[in-house]
Amino acid sequence: MSDSLEIQALKAKYRKKQSLLRKEFSDNLSQDVFNVIAKKVIKTIKQNNIEKPVVSGFLPIGSEVDVRPALDLALENDFEICLPCVVEKDKPLIFRQWRDGDELVKEKFGTQAPTKQAEILIPNIIITPLLAFDKKKYRLGYGGGFYDRTISKFNKKNHKYITIGVALDIQKIDEVPIGKYDKALDFVITEKYIYK
């Protein structure tokens, strides 16, 4: 699952630039920004009339958007919550049930995940971090391909789900370099807009 050398080089260039931009901007953010995004995430889930929502979120690393307020609201709405777990390099993610306060383990890529004792769930709402996005809702991730592989696996199994990227509005760029396996998100939610 690899892009052409030209696409790889473009993505690497954008990753570096967008990572610096997001960090610089996020240093001055208040928690209110993340609360605004959280309310929009829950509104979007409800508007899509998903029966028994199982929401995959993530615990933020560095300057990523903090989706914990969205996960708190999801729990208040009796949605099930899970977090992605890296099985191994070049494999799809699995998702384990999580509630605030549950034990977490550190993974190789700096992420935290529920322990192996936590129940495996299959989400029908996947909230993803990103470095950049464009008007077509293509996402620039970190280059590991974990979400791409997971979405590809879900598609092959005809599993119904929606994808929601969360970002700051300054992360929007004119055009994300697209590789063969990249898929557009269903929504990108920022503090200013819901892109759909």
Domain chopping of the chain, boundaries: 5-191
Of 91, 123, 125, 120, which is closest to residue 108 (Cα–Cα)? 91
Q: How would you write the pLDDT of the chain (196 residues) with one tens digit per residue? A: 567 889 889 999 999 999 998 988 887 888 999 999 999 999 999 999 998 999 999 999 989 999 999 999 999 999 999 999 998 888 999 999 998 889 999 987 788 999 999 999 999 999 999 999 999 999 999 988 899 999 999 999 999 999 999 999 999 999 999 988 889 999 999 999 999 9
Q: Are 74 and 55 in contact (CB under 8 A)?
A: yes
Question: How many alpha carbons lie under 13 Å from residue 10 in its C-beta half-sphere?
Answer: 13
Task: Write the class of the CATH domain 5-191.
Answer: alpha beta
pTM: 0.93
